[in-house]
Amino acid sequence: MLAALALASGCGGGDDGNGDGTRAQRPVTGPEAAPPRGFPGVATSNTTRIAGADHVADAAGVAQAVYPARSDDTRPPAVALVDDTDWRVAISAAQLMAPPLRAPLLYSKGTAMPAVTLQALLTLRPRGAKEAGDAQVIRIGDAARPRGFRTADVQGADFAALAQAIDRLHTEAAGEPSPAVVVASSEQPGYAMPAAAWAAKSGTAVLWVTRDLVPPATRAAIEAHEKPRIYVLGPETAVSEGVVSELEELGTVRRIGDRDPVANAIDFARFSDGSFGWNVVDPGHGLVFASTQRPQDAGAAAPLSATGTYGPLLLLTEPNVLPPAVQDFLLDIQPGYREDPVRGVYNHGWLIGDERAVTIDVQARIDTLLQIVPVDSGSESDSAPGS
């Protein structure tokens, strides 16, 4: 895993970090230069960072953290290769990380293969997914075609049609459609980003609408699920009531819509409706943190929500600020113990991106809020879960 983290921390999308042949520079956020890479920048007691200079490197680092590829059973069946120009397609492709395909996402740049992606693909050496015709690489849209690998192509005229085609592939592989679908805004990525984590964990399709329009491909995809539960992410400013009314013709609709993307992601993390939803309302969970300024990181990070400690995606808006709503949520689910922390439950956080996405200061604060703490046996907290 540490090898994968080191790979991501030193690489950008096909060069040394800036995309123009120059080396990416670490920001200086205080009077002194940032410390050398390593601890606490890579990991603290309760956090681990995938320190990519961009989403291309983050995807490569995540894939190798999830699949160390040191033996046949630590290699993925397949990988999903996505053109990095459309964050919507990447979020929908996260569905392919769910069983049975278990395909993490890597990024191409159009038909060009970034060096960091090629290196990750050669390291991962996918075994071949029998549910996808023994393909090692599932090409989404106009992604690159890597030589020497068996490929399956997923085609569509636009992001909505590609989401439909991705869902069709997953349905064919799983043998039945998912009982629910997530519908998200194709215009406001902050509200849509958390859908990637849930899709990777559950196999739920992520389909697209504008504020005032349901594309024909989205309608057809929902109809193929035969009256599913439909969960709309985002408030009316992202998805109008008119669209919700149209969706109600296709299934049972519930909206998860708060005032801003940070609050909405927390609402989604807490949400539960039968078998749908993370229901993270107590200690003992994995969490993933990414920046709304890097929407492609949602698809890149999705495999972390479908393996290991499993958990929802939470959002940060500025690299050097922990939003108060996130801090309050972490305090709500902070683990505690009465006598012996060894018998407690634990939270763990994955941070996505280098210090331009999340500073070490914010990482340190998140680490503190995830830390298991002693509980006063005489306080009300004594009865809290995990204490």
Half-sphere exposure of 139 (CA within 13 A, CB side): 19
- What is the rounded average pLDDT of the residues 85-112? 97
Give the mean pLDDT of 98-123: 97
Q: Looking at residue 12, what is its pLDDT?
A: 41
| pLDDT of 8 higher than 70 | no
pLDDT for the residue 378: 57
Nearest-5° Cα angle at 33, 31 to 35: 130
Residue tagged 């969970």 (tokens) = 285
State the Cα–Cα distance between residues 61 and 48, nearest whole angstrom.
12
Q: Are 145 and 193 in contact (CB under 8 A)?
A: no
pLDDT at 108 over 80: yes
Q: Are 59 and 65 contacting, i.e. CB atoms less than 8 angstroms apart? A: no
Say how far apart CA 387 and CA 385 lie, in whole Å.
6
**Residue 68 exposure: Cα atoms within 13 Å on the Cβ side:** 6
- CB 296, CB 55: distance < 8 Å: yes
Going by DSSP bridges, is the β-strand pair 286-291/313-316 parallel, antiparallel, or unpaired? parallel
> Which residue range(s) make up the domain with 310?
2-383
Residue 385 has pLDDT above 60, yes or no: no
Q: What is the pLDDT of residues 212-261, one digit of tens each?
A: 999 999 999 999 999 999 999 999 999 999 999 999 999 999 999 989 99
So what's the pLDDT on residue 7? Answer: 36
Q: pLDDT digits over 121-137, tens only?
A: 999 999 999 999 999 99
pLDDT band of residue 38 (cuts 50, 70, 90) is: low
Report the distance separating Cα 120 and Cα 7, nearest Å: 9
For 92, what's the count of Cα atoms within 13 Å in the CB-facing half-sphere?
A: 34
Residues constituting the chain: 387
**What pLDDT is stored for residue 139 in this prediction?**
98
What is the C-alpha R_g of the chain? 20
Q: Which pLDDT tens digit goes with each residue over 146-203?
A: 999 999 999 999 999 999 999 999 999 999 999 999 999 999 999 999 999 999 999 9
Residue 19 has a pLDDT of 35
pLDDT at 269 over 90: yes
Q: Is the pLDDT of residue 5 over 70?
A: no
Chain segment 58-89, per-residue pLDDT in tens? 999 999 999 999 999 999 999 999 999 999 99
Contact 20, 26 (CB under 8 A): no
Q: Which pLDDT belongs to residue 32?
A: 35
- pTM of the predicted model, to two decimals? 0.88
User: 326-381: per-residue pLDDT in tens?
Assistant: 999 999 999 999 999 999 999 999 999 999 999 999 999 999 999 999 998 655 44
Structural contact between residues 299 and 56, judged by C-beta atoms closer than 8 angstroms: no
Overall domain count for the chain: 1
- Do residues 40 and 361 make contact, with C-beta atoms less than 8 angstroms apart? no
Which residues have CB under 8 Å from 92's CB, separation 6+? 159, 162, 163, 166, 167, 199, 205, 206, 207, 208
